[in-house]
Amino acid sequence: MLNKLLFHRFPNLKSWLTRIQYDLITKFDRGNEVLFMNFGYAHPEPIPLSPEEEYHRYPLQMYHKVADHHGVNWQNAEALEVSSGRGGGASFIVRHFKPRSYAGLDFSARAVEYCRKQYQHLKELSFHHGNAEEIPFADESFDVVVNVEASLYYPNPHRFFEHVRRVLKPNGYFLYTDLRYEEKVAVWREQIKAIGLKLVYEEDITDNVLRAMDLDRERRKALVDRYVPRFLRRQFYHFAGLAMDNIASTPHLEKRRYWYFVLQKA
């Protein structure tokens, strides 16, 4: 409830609190276990993963879902991920889809610092500190822009969309997934159609996300219990997609719907 009020009435305050929360995750994660921060995606056919990747299966499958669009020629791509968080998705895409280069951008300075150290062995990867609403890259510099579960925190998503259109090269792809409260979905889809990019594909993936949250709940709860001080746990259970009132109850997205979009600069 408080969350919803913040989202709707005070988006700048919400954005500021979000930055503190994501900075705290980097501070708390002493075991280096939080490489992804999305709710996850349950694939109808689970993708084959290495033993190290298996621990991150559901949030990693979200990245696989987003990146695996047949139109994208990853092998020659210069890609940008806006709100790359702890870099798990960036590292996965670089290893599995093999773009020429992949830049991650995030407004959490701690997350960027963490990623620069954690992934220094992947030469195609670079991490940059900056705001999604003022993307610090030149016009027409990327073949692909990726954005996973982050634009809900941006106070002015239309500014982000304008920058995406600006930094994409002609024919470049915008691979985008996020969630919105049910009553806001229609407006959101109109905003997306108004970006000035061609909508190539769209899908409501809420059921896959809910299924992932269910399958991944014990891991998420254990993570919060292990690293977060007791007095902050309620807030972090909520953040990790565990119900706030009763963490044993069925996962839910607070009446939000999760969508996946593929757009192209035609």
Q: How far apart are CB 15 and ligand SAM at their closest, in Å?
A: 6
Select from 65-73, 118-126, 145-153, 199-207 the region that touches ligand SAM (CB under 6 A). Answer: 145-153
Cα-based angle 216, 259, 119 (whole degrees, multiple of 5): 60
CA distance 230 to 197: 46
Give the tokens for residue 193.
């159609």
At residue 49, φ and ψ (nearest 5 deg) are -135, 155
Q: Strands 168-181, 142-148: parallel, antiparallel or unpaired by DSSP?
A: parallel
Select from 146-154, 189-197, 216-224, 257-265 the region that touches ligand SAM (CB under 6 A). Answer: 146-154
Farthest CA pair distance, the chain = 51
Applying the rule CB under 6 A, the residues between 11 and 50 that interact with ligand SAM are: 15, 18, 22, 36-38
CB atoms within 10 A of CB 124: 18
The helix or strand, by DSSP H or E, that contains position 217, with its residue range, turns out to be: helix 217-227
Q: Which is nearer to ligand SAM, 198 or 238 (CB)?
A: 238
Give the tokens for residue 151.
């634009």
CA distance 184 to 186: 6
| Residue 148 near ligand SAM by CB under 6 A | yes
Q: Comparing C-alpha atoms, which of 29, 21, 46 is closest to residue 212? A: 46
Q: How far apart are CB 30 and ligand SAM at their closest, in Å?
A: 18
Residue 13 CB burial class (10 angstroms; 0-12, 13-18, ≥19): exposed
Q: Which is nearer to ligand SAM, 83 or 208 (CB)?
A: 83
Among 131, 174, 224, 259, binds ligand SAM (CB under 6 A): 131
Structure letter (DSSP) for residue 48: P
Q: Which is nearer to ligand SAM, 37 or 198 (CB)?
A: 37
Select from 64-72, 120-128, 130-138, 241-249 the region that touches ligand SAM (CB under 6 A). Answer: 130-138
10 half-sphere exposure, CB direction, 13 A CA radius: 9
Q: How far apart are CB 170 and ligand SAM at their closest, in Å?
A: 25
Q: How far apart are CB 214 and ligand SAM at their closest, in Å?
A: 18
Q: Which is nearer to ligand SAM, 20 or 248 (CB)?
A: 20
Applying the rule CB under 6 A, the residues between 84 and 123 that interact with ligand SAM are: 85, 88-89, 106-108, 111
Among 53, 124, 143, 149, binds ligand SAM (CB under 6 A): 149
Which residues would be at the binding site for ligand SAM (CB under 6 A)? Answer: 15, 18, 22, 36-38, 83, 85, 88-89, 106-108, 111, 131-133, 148-150, 153-154
